[in-house]
Chain A
């Protein structure tokens, strides 16, 4: 069974440029998460989806970050414009409904903002 797929794996951009990350969760997983992991830190939740509905986006910096999960499957996380402090690994995870402690993570998208 395929795991969570993310792309791109690496992205280098200059500040003020836009960037987008894509995630394909495990088939059958209704719940999808975007986490940000700063260097030497644990993942921090940005947004959680149940199917296509964003049910927890309290930690998403809405002035520059946006996300969508059309049709309740794939998801895209966008940053516009990017700032230096956005450099991090953006992790996508999925889980079965109600199994919110048992997350399956993708390999992440490492963003470097110059």
Chain B
């Protein structure tokens, strides 16, 4: 059973556009929601993370929007650049636990 459901599976965006990736979860014990970015042949790297006590977190062109009541969170990449082309994974961790559950990933392609 997938603990975190991610969509879309793939996404193509024009340079300068907004990329939006969505994730949903059921486990209300989750209290930490990071996003990881993975380039081909590399390991995932932490991009940005949010806790459920805030509805939005912004770091540069990357923003996480969090909807606690809907149990959904999303990553927005503003002014998308070809260098943002990568696979993005959402993840979640339960309070008191130490296992990070990853989504299935979204392959983002930003075309010039």
Interface residues of A (CB under 8 A from B): 4, 31, 40-45, 48, 55-56, 91, 93, 100-108
Beta-carbon contact of B102 and A105 below 8 Å: no
Main SS of the interface on chain A?
A: loop
Beta-carbon contact of A42 and B42 below 8 Å: no
Q: List, in ascending order, chain B residues with CB within 8 A of A100's CB.
A: 93, 97-100
Beta-carbon contact of B42 and A41 below 8 Å: no
Beta-carbon contact of A91 and B43 below 8 Å: yes
Q: List, in ascending order, chain A residues with CB within 8 A of B45's CB.
A: 104-105
Number of residues in B with C-beta < 8 Å to the partner?
22
A4 with B89: in contact, given A42-B102, A100-B100, A102-B49 (CB under 8 Å)? no
Q: Tell me the bound Cα distance from A51 to B97 in angstroms.
A: 17
Beta-carbon contact of B105 and A42 below 8 Å: yes
Interface residues of B (CB under 8 A from A): 6, 32, 34, 36, 41-46, 49, 89, 91, 93, 97-100, 102-105
Beta-carbon contact of B104 and A42 below 8 Å: yes
A4 with B102: in contact, given A42-B89, A101-B32, A102-B49 (CB under 8 Å)? no
Q: List, in ascending order, chain B residues with CB within 8 A of A31's CB.
A: 98
Beta-carbon contact of B44 and A40 below 8 Å: no
A107 with B41: in contact, given A56-B98, A101-B34 (CB under 8 Å)? yes
Interface centre among B49, B97, B99 (most CB of A within 10 A): B99
Beta-carbon contact of B99 and A45 below 8 Å: yes
Beta-carbon contact of B102 and A44 below 8 Å: yes
Question: Chain B residue with minimal CB distance to A98?
Answer: B98
Question: Chain A residue with minimal CB distance to B46?
Answer: A102
